Amino acid sequence: MKHAVPESRCIRFLAITVLALLSSTAHAEMGDSPQAGLYNGFLGQTNVVECVNAGPAPISARMDVRTESGALLGSRVFTVSGFGTGHIILNEFEIADRYGSY
């Protein structure tokens, strides 16, 4: 007997696969521990970090943007409302022609 794969699982798998194939890693999940992601500023594209708050209370966070050698390009303090989403454009930190982390 064949089992049908739920459409939501297919969409989730596709979304995860697309994210894995992108040149910059989008990973910023709010939590108690520090989170990290990578960027590629060589492609001339806009790099956006998406931060999701899965809880009901607003949260504040700080994001540091660094070069591949660890030099600090800048920091941003921001608040995400309960069950909200925040976006930070990394290109504001002069990431052109660099690799690095946030």
The helix (H) or strand (E) run that includes residue 13 is: helix 7-21
pLDDT attached to residue 22: 47
What are the contacts of 33-38 at 24+ separation with CB within 8 A? 36/101, 36/102, 37/101, 37/102, 38/99, 38/100, 38/101, 38/102
User: Based on the structure, what is the number of domains in the chain?
Assistant: 1
pLDDT attached to residue 33: 72
pLDDT in tens, 27-68: 444 456 789 999 999 999 999 999 999 999 999 999 999 999
**What domain range includes position 95?**
24-101
Quote the tokens at residue 94: 């002069």
In a domain, 5, yes or no: no
In a domain, 8, yes or no: no
Residue 16 has pLDDT above 90, yes or no: no
In a domain, 38, yes or no: yes
In a domain, 90, yes or no: yes
CB 49 within 8 A of CB 26: yes
48 three-state secondary structure? strand
Read off the CATH number of the domain in which 84 is found. 2.60.290
